[in-house]
Structure formats: C-alpha cells, structure tokens
C-alpha cells in the first residue's frame, strides 16, 4: 500500500499534502535531507524501479537509494498529491574523462505547476540544488552555491535523445563553472532507465558504478560523501577531496552519512572494511551530525 502519511513520517514532513509551490519546496527539502544517497544495492546489481518495492525499501525499511530509485519514488509521491510530473534523463559529467556519460546516469524530475516548469533533484551525490527551481536559462543560488542552467550547443544529446541539451553547472570554490549533468526536455518512461541499469552493470560499462561504494548525505549547508576510500566534503565556498586516513575515520564518516540509519551504517562499514580495511568492522551506532559540520559532494 502506498501511504502518503507514512512517507511523510519517513522524511519528517508534517505539513499539508496539497499541490502548491510551497508544499513542493518543503517536500523536496525534507526528502533530500532525510534519505541518504547510497549504492549498497547497486553494488549487487539490485537497483529497483518499481513503486511497490521502492516504497518498501525507502519508506518501510528506512533505507536509502540511488538517484533512479529516489526519483522514481518521489515522482509517485508527487503524482499521488496531484502534481503534474515528468521524468527526465541526464548524462553525467565525467571529469576524469572530460566527457559526459554516453547513456543516462542520472534521473531528475520536471514539475508543471501554475503554468511554470520546475526542475526537481532530490538525490544526487554532488552538492547540488535541493529545492525546485524554475526551468529557465540563467543563474540561481541555493545553500551558498551559485548554479546556472544554460544551453549546451554542440553537445550531442546522447543515445536515444534528439536535439540540443541543457546543462546544469555549479560555480566551484575556485570560481570556475563545473558541469554536473546535461539533459533534454523530453519526458521518459521509468522502463527506459532499465536499459541504463543493465549497461551500468554490464562488462562494457566504463563507469564501474556497480563496483563502487558511494554513500552521501545532504546536510543543511552542504554534503558529505564517501566514494570507496575517498572523502569528499563541501560547504559554501569550501570543497575538499582526500583519502580517508584509516578505518576509524571511515567508520565515523559513514556514521555521519547514515545518522538514524544504523543498519545501513553497519552494512557500509562492513563493505568498506572488506575492501580497504583489515577485515570486518564491528557494528557501531551512527552518531548524529554536528550543528553545521563540513559537508560533501560527489558524482554518481
């Protein structure tokens, strides 16, 4: 059973459930801050795209999910409330290769409300916008960062998408614009993303996402992310990428990411220790985040 009240309790939202701009903003913010981004199931090629299993995973079992999972569930939530929602596919910027992914590696939503299209992105491993923004070209600010949406002329739409794309970029701490992803304004069916999951988990995938531990938590003023043995943190005007010093630090950072999600913290610690430590780590309760900790960004 898909129950909006139970979902609201999961994300700590206590307001009305009516299709207004204010409710959309508060739901987006609550979901982004409450549901961790994690690839634990993805590493076992078990990403979900069906409403029922996703509801059980994220709501009933209080787990996290990847962008495909979070946005598939969130699209259903918004439609249940009465919003006009479209699913969009995005091509991730791959800085290590200097190119975009050749197949959808991110999902975002477009909500039509009061005659205006708004972009919604509640699950992304980068430090990105978490409140809906008007789908117009130009700059905007959120949580101390400057973003902009712009045409991406000359960049092919990618497999299965025709026409030009738009790109979402964030101004880094050094003042330079960094692409996050490009996308086409063409609604996609959820089934379209199964092809992406099959490719990402296949032998020809260059992304190696299915073999990468990615755990991230959006915080009110930034993000903290663990990618394998890397720790990526960000807050307004500050970004840091470095190796985790040891198993103790890895355990602490995973505890921060999975605060209030003890089983996820334990599972992530076991995976981390098996890959980068000296063996299985003992189970340990996650600690709550500090008032304004340094936070992190990453990219799936």
Residue 284: predicted pLDDT:
46
- Pick the closest to residue 289 from 251, 235, 253, 264 (CA basis): 253
The pair of three-digit structure tokens given for residue 211, joined into one six-digit string: 């073999």
Asked if the model's pLDDT at residue 251 lies above 90, the reply is yes
Asked if the model's pLDDT at residue 183 lies above 90, the reply is yes
Mean pLDDT, range 251-276, rounded to an integer: 95
Residue 195: predicted pLDDT:
74
Mean pLDDT, range 143-161, rounded to an integer: 71
Residue with tokens 């091509």: 91
Mean pLDDT, range 178-192, rounded to an integer: 92
Mean pLDDT, range 94-106, rounded to an integer: 85
Confidence band, pLDDT 50/70/90 cuts, at residue 158: very low
pLDDT, one tens digit per residue, over 6-22 is 999 999 999 999 999 99
The pair of three-digit structure tokens given for residue 96, joined into one six-digit string: 């290590």
pLDDT, one tens digit per residue, over 105-118 is 899 999 999 999 99
* Domains and their CATH numbers in the chain: 4-210 (3.30.2140.20), 213-276 (no CATH)
- Pick the closest to residue 59 from 122, 2, 121, 15 (CA basis): 2
Q: Which residues contact 50 (CB under 8 A, 6 or more apart)?
A: none
Mean pLDDT, range 84-108, rounded to an integer: 90
Confidence band, pLDDT 50/70/90 cuts, at residue 84: very high
Share of the chain above pLDDT 90, in %: 62
Rounded to a whole number, what is the distance in angstroms from the first to the last CA of the chain?
A: 30
Confidence band, pLDDT 50/70/90 cuts, at residue 126: confident
Confidence band, pLDDT 50/70/90 cuts, at residue 94: confident
Mean pLDDT, range 248-264, rounded to an integer: 96
Q: How many other CB atoms are there within 10 angstroms of residue 114's CB atom? A: 8
pTM, to two decimals: 0.87
Confidence band, pLDDT 50/70/90 cuts, at residue 248: very high
CA distance 33 to 217: 7
Mean pLDDT, range 52-59, rounded to an integer: 94
Q: How many other CB atoms are there within 10 angstroms of residue 236's CB atom? A: 15
Asked if the model's pLDDT at residue 222 lies above 60, the reply is yes
pLDDT, one tens digit per residue, over 264-284 is 999 999 999 998 886 444 444
CA distance 113 to 17: 15
Residue 117: predicted pLDDT:
98
């Amino acid at each position: 059973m898909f129950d909006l009240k139970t979902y609201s309790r999961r994300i700590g939202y206590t307001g009305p459930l009516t299709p207004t701009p204010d409710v959309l903003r508060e739901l987006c913010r609550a979901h982004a801050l409450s549901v961790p981004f994690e690839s634990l199931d993805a590493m076992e090629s078990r990403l979900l795209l069906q409403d029922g299993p996703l509801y059980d995973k994220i709501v009933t079992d209080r787990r996290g999910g990847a962008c495909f999972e979070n946005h598939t569930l969130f699209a259903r939530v918004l439609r249940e409330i009465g919003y006009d929602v479209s699913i969009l596919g995005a091509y991730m910027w791959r800085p290590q290769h200097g190119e975009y992914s050749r197949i959808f590696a991110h999902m975002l939503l477009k909500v039509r409300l009061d005659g205006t299209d708004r972009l919604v992105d509640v699950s992304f491993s980068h430090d990105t916008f978490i409140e809906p923004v008007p789908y117009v070209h130009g700059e905007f600010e959120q949580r101390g960062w400057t973003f902009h949406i712009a045409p991406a002329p000359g960049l092919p739409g990618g497999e299965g998408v025709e026409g030009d794309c738009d790109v979402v970029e964030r101004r880094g701490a050094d003042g330079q614009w960094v692409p996050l992803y490009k996308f086409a304004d063409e609604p996609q069916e959820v089934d379209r993303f199964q092809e992406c999951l099959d490719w990402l988990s296949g032998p020809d995938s260059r992304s190696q996402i299915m073999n990468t531990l990615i755990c991230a938590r959006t915080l009110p003023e930034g993000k903290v992310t663990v990618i394998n043995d890397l720790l990526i943190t960000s807050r307004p005007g500050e970004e840091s990428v470095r190796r985790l010093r040891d198993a103790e630090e890895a355990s602490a950072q995973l505890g921060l990411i999975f605060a209030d999600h003890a089983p996820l913290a334990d599972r992530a610690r076991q995976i981390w220790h098996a890959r980068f430590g000296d063996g299985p780590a003992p189970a340990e309760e996650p600690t709550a985040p500090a008032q304004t900790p340094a936070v992190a960004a990453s990219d799936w």
